[in-house]
C-alpha cells in the first residue's frame, strides 16, 4: 500500500469506529475492537495490494475484531456476589456424577462421540470428523444435537422431584 498508514487511520477511523459500535455498542469494547482493527491493519499494511478497497477491507477487519470481542465476552466468567453451594465433582465416572454419564451414554453413537471428542476432549470439529468419519458439518450438527438432547434430558430431570442431583453437578454442557 502506497498511502501512509496515518492518513488511512484519519480517513477511515470514524467509519471503523461506527462499525465497532454498531456491533458492540458504545463503550470500551468498541474502542478496543477499533484499536485491534488498526493494529491488524498495520501488520498487513506493507503486503496490501495498491488496488485494495481500503475502506471495505478495514470494515471487514473491524467486523471480525468485533466478533472476536463478542466471543471473548461469552467465554468470560460471570461475577457473582456469592457462589452457589454445590458439591465438588470433576465429572469422572464413579465420582458422584454417574447420572450424567448414563445420560451421555444414552445418546446415539454419533452424537455421543461428537460430544465426547469435541466438548469433553476439546478437539476441533475437523479432527472429530476424521476420528468418527463424516464431514465437518455432519459432526458439528451431531454435537449440537447431542448437547441439545443432554440439556433437554437434564432439564426434565431437574423438574422431577426424585431427580439425582449428581447428574447436575457438572453444569451446562458446551456453550449456550
Residue 135 belongs to domain with CATH number: 1.20.140
Number of domains in the chain: 1
Q: What is the pLDDT of residue 94?
A: 56
Mean pLDDT of the chain: 81
Nearest to 99 by CA among 17, 169, 161: 169
Alpha-carbon gap, residue 151 to 72, rounded angstroms: 23
Q: What is the pLDDT of residue 137?
A: 95
pLDDT band of 138, cuts 50, 70, 90: very high
Q: Does some domain include residue 163?
A: no
Q: Does some domain include residue 56?
A: yes
Alpha-carbon gap, residue 84 to 103, rounded angstroms: 24
Query: Does the structure show a pLDDT above 60 at 154?
Result: yes
Q: Does some domain include residue 86?
A: no
Q: Does some domain include residue 53?
A: yes
Q: Does some domain include residue 23?
A: yes
Q: Does some domain include residue 116?
A: yes
Query: Does the structure show a pLDDT above 50 at 14?
Result: yes
Q: What is the pLDDT of residue 87?
A: 57
For residue 66, what are the contacts with CB-CB under 8 A and spacing of at least 6? 19, 20, 23, 24, 30, 33
Q: Does some domain include residue 168?
A: no
Alpha-carbon gap, residue 22 to 70, rounded angstroms: 12
The mean pLDDT value for 122-146 works out to 90
Q: Which domain holds residue 29?
A: 5-76+97-158
The SS3 of residue 53 is coil
pLDDT, tens digit (0-9, with 9 covering 90-100), for 41-65: 999 999 999 888 898 899 999 988 9
55: phi > 0 → left, psi -120 to 50 → alpha, else beta; which?
Answer: alpha
For residue 160, what are the contacts with CB-CB under 8 A and spacing of at least 6? none
Amino acid at each position: 500500500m502506497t498511502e501512509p498508514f496515518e492518513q488511512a487511520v484519519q480517513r477511515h477511523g470514524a467509519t471503523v469506529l461506527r462499525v465497532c459500535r454498531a456491533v458492540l455498542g458504545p463503550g470500551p469494547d468498541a474502542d478496543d475492537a477499533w484499536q485491534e482493527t488498526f493494529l491488524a491493519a498495520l501488520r498487513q499494511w506493507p503486503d496490501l495490494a495498491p488496488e485494495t478497497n481500503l475502506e471495505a477491507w478495514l470494515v471487514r477487519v473491524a467486523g471480525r475484531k468485533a466478533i472476536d470481542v463478542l466471543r471473548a465476552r461469552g467465554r468470560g466468567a460471570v461475577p457473582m456476589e456469592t457462589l452457589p453451594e454445590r458439591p465438588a465433582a470433576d465429572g469422572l465416572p464413579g465420582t458422584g456424577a454417574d447420572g450424567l454419564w448414563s445420560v451421555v451414554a444414552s445418546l446415539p453413537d454419533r452424537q455421543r462421540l461428537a460430544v465426547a471428542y469435541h466438548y469433553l476432549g476439546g478437539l476441533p470439529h475437523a479432527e472429530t470428523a476424521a476420528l468418527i468419519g463424516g464431514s465437518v458439518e455432519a459432526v458439528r450438527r451431531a454435537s449440537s444435537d447431542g448437547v441439545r438432547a443432554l440439556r433437554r434430558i437434564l432439564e426434565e430431570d431437574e423438574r422431577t422431584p426424585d431427580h439425582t442431583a449428581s447428574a447436575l453437578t457438572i453444569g451446562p454442557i458446551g456453550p449456550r
